[in-house]
A and B are shown apart, each in its own frame.
Chain A
């Protein structure tokens, strides 16, 4: 097979359990799409962290957007968000009842639609596009998350031995940020092909064995030390940090973004409509623990039964391409048994 798979088998042979976390839905997807967990030795655990922006969007934010839609305000969002269940319903069901909900692939599909409110979800890779929306005078309900603050919490809580850093987030923010993250474990910035993830795993194991806490940039074809300065500048011009609630984790300081221009901040513009929203989550839903990598999807008693892709109880089951549960359901629910 791949030379790095052999190298991993060799180096892991005298190591105890090693927990490596990736925090990128794209990485989770590649791992499942190529059955990578199958071919790693049993003591090397690849854990999926909160890399799915859909999955970590708070119930409250989803309920607010659904409320806007049900109140007749046209809204737009990217693919998966449409199906995420809020406390009572989803954007998809609101659409079925007649609400104007537009699913788009790219922000340029709504730049002229100035009355439409954009539900901005995603990590740093997607934030530049929201900056464009602000510059075009579009009101945004900003639910973006910034990944580095979350990683610090996860390191200690989850006993993580090493991180695979998100490749395209890094394209925007640059590799230097990871150097300055101040966490006591090694990191590898990785691309998205299965070969890249396997190599990243090996590089982490090497560093872990040597007790090194460096950051290796293994995606240097697009990740530069300062990232994309134009994008970073526009983000800073249009947005400021805000404390944000991550579903399943809680509020992480400075891990979200808000509009600098309050006239474009949908949270402020429409706050009257949101004041009666009471968001609750299903008590048996373990999405919170799943996004932190604390449990596997199959450990949730709802998995595959009451909670399945047709009838998701929590966000992890909705995002067919990044939600840990939806991916597990799609690719391997019985392979792991």
Chain B
């Protein structure tokens, strides 16, 4: 970009600064928030990694590779959430469920997880024990074993309490990566924004009884797998991030009917109190799925058995972008950029 040194009308001193460029030499906090900033960061180093011809879906929640009649599905995720204990769970629960769900949304039956722990010196052993107990209980309930792992301890201050990485493998005969086409219906498995509400509330000293919605989803997805084309865990970045990722991937438009989008009262309240859009709030145990319109009602009926708030929220159309039909006009829903910041005024 050419430097603008000549004096202009609006320039009082004759020393107008160059266009402000962000400090690109350092990674910013917003680049980890699941929104557009993060995508840009990832794209910037993705091309340094050689691509694979054998593996598919490498940019997705999980990557897949054909092994005989089956597909092996492989995923990984790291968990750095603060606080590590919150209503309804702890970081261990998120770590277990998050990875199980990344496998489940590809249609896979999870067969084993790895568990990597990086622990800050000084973390109370009782807290570590509680986290491991939670993971153990989930493993038992779901019959998904933790089969390998690693443990490291870092000096006090080097990290914030604990970082957990879970990787997982699963198998499926049919990978849920069927391209969407106009007419397909968009369905969510339950109310959105609960996890994000829970975290934001704590940060801004708002009390709520809302627990996190983190839970394993493999049973729900198994129940509808034959009737859907795609599924996506709605996590950081909220529904907006999830939907935008897919319109780009499949080259379609989504038309969402705002009045059909389900959310709990507390979530609606929080979005109004803090002036944030519900579409940008993280979820943890809620997913979006896409079905041919002839299957949509059946899928919904099955999902409602797990969560009464499941709903059909829109449909796929020709075009691009995610459009939301409000009870008045329409608006475009874009990917959130970085951290969710409440409005002041």
Bound CA–CA A269/B281 (angstroms): 41
Q: Is the CB of A310 within 8 A of B341?
A: no
Bound CA–CA A332/B322 (angstroms): 11
Contact of A278 among B1, B13, B274, B323 (CB under 8 A): B13
Nearest to A326 among chain B residues (CB) is B337
Does residue B52 face the partner (Cβ distance < 8 Å to A)?
Answer: no
Least CB distance, B248 to chain A, in whole angstroms: 14
Bound CA–CA A320/B321 (angstroms): 19
Q: Is the CB of A29 within 8 A of B328?
A: no
Nearest to B341 among chain A residues (CB) is A79
Contact of A36 among B4, B321, B329 (CB under 8 A): B329
Interface-facing stretch out of B14-22, B77-85, B181-189, B229-237? B14-22
Q: Is the CB of B344 within 8 A of A54?
A: yes
Dominant SS at the B interface?
loop
Contact of B343 among A29, A82, A283, A313 (CB under 8 A): A29
Contacts of B344 in A (CB 8 A): 53-54, 78-81, 121-122, 126, 322
Does residue B26 face the partner (Cβ distance < 8 Å to A)?
Answer: yes
Q: Is the CB of B328 within 8 A of A278?
A: no
Bound CA–CA A271/B343 (angstroms): 30
Q: Is the CB of A280 within 8 A of B11?
A: yes
Interface string of B322-345 (1 = CB under 8 A from A): 010011111110100110011111
Bound CA–CA A215/B256 (angstroms): 38
Least CB distance, A284 to chain B, in whole angstroms: 8
> Which of A32, A80, A106, A121 has most chain B Cβ within 10 Å?
A80
Bound CA–CA A26/B342 (angstroms): 13
Nearest to A329 among chain B residues (CB) is B334
Does residue A142 face the partner (Cβ distance < 8 Å to B)?
Answer: no
Contacts of A93 in B (CB 8 A): 23
Contacts of B274 in A (CB 8 A): 105
Does residue B49 face the partner (Cβ distance < 8 Å to A)?
Answer: no
Q: Is the CB of B334 within 8 A of A80?
A: no
Bound CA–CA A335/B40 (angstroms): 24
Contact of A282 among B17, B23, B26, B321 (CB under 8 A): B17
Q: Is the CB of B37 within 8 A of A310?
A: yes
Contacts of A212 in B (CB 8 A): none
Does residue B51 face the partner (Cβ distance < 8 Å to A)?
Answer: no
Does residue A88 face the partner (Cβ distance < 8 Å to B)?
Answer: yes
CB contact list, B247-297 vs A, under 8 A: 274-275, 277
CB contact list, B51-102 vs A, under 8 A: none
Does residue A33 face the partner (Cβ distance < 8 Å to B)?
Answer: yes
Contact of A35 among B12, B275, B330 (CB under 8 A): B330
Q: Is the CB of B16 within 8 A of A282?
A: yes
Does residue A228 face the partner (Cβ distance < 8 Å to B)?
Answer: no
A79-B341, A334-B321 known; A311+B20 contact, CB < 8 A: yes
Contacts of B341 in A (CB 8 A): 79-80, 82-83, 103, 320
Interface string of A52-84 (1 = CB under 8 A from B): 111000000000000000000000001111110
Bound CA–CA A25/B275 (angstroms): 11
Nearest to A86 among chain B residues (CB) is B20
Nearest to B328 among chain A residues (CB) is A34
Bound CA–CA A295/B180 (angstroms): 39
Nearest to B329 among chain A residues (CB) is A35
Does residue B205 face the partner (Cβ distance < 8 Å to A)?
Answer: yes
Contacts of A81 in B (CB 8 A): 344
Contacts of A311 in B (CB 8 A): 20-22
Nearest to B275 among chain A residues (CB) is A321
Contacts of B10 in A (CB 8 A): 281, 283, 288
Does residue A309 face the partner (Cβ distance < 8 Å to B)?
Answer: yes
Bound CA–CA A236/B19 (angstroms): 41
Interface string of B2-39 (1 = CB under 8 A from A): 00100011111101110111110010110000001100
Interface string of B293-329 (1 = CB under 8 A from A): 0000000000000000000000000000101001111
Contacts of A52 in B (CB 8 A): 345
Contacts of A333 in B (CB 8 A): 332
Contact of B28 among A96, A105, A313, A331 (CB under 8 A): A96
B residues adjacent to A (C-beta < 8 A) = 1, 4, 8-13, 15-17, 19-23, 26, 28-29, 36-37, 40, 204-205, 274-275, 277, 321, 323, 326-332, 334, 337-338, 341-345
* 19 A-B contact pairs sorted by A residue (CB < 8 Å): A33-B331, A34-B328, A54-B345, A80-B343, A85-B20, A96-B28, A105-B342, A194-B327, A280-B15, A280-B17, A283-B8, A283-B16, A306-B1, A310-B22, A310-B337, A311-B22, A320-B337, A321-B275, A332-B332
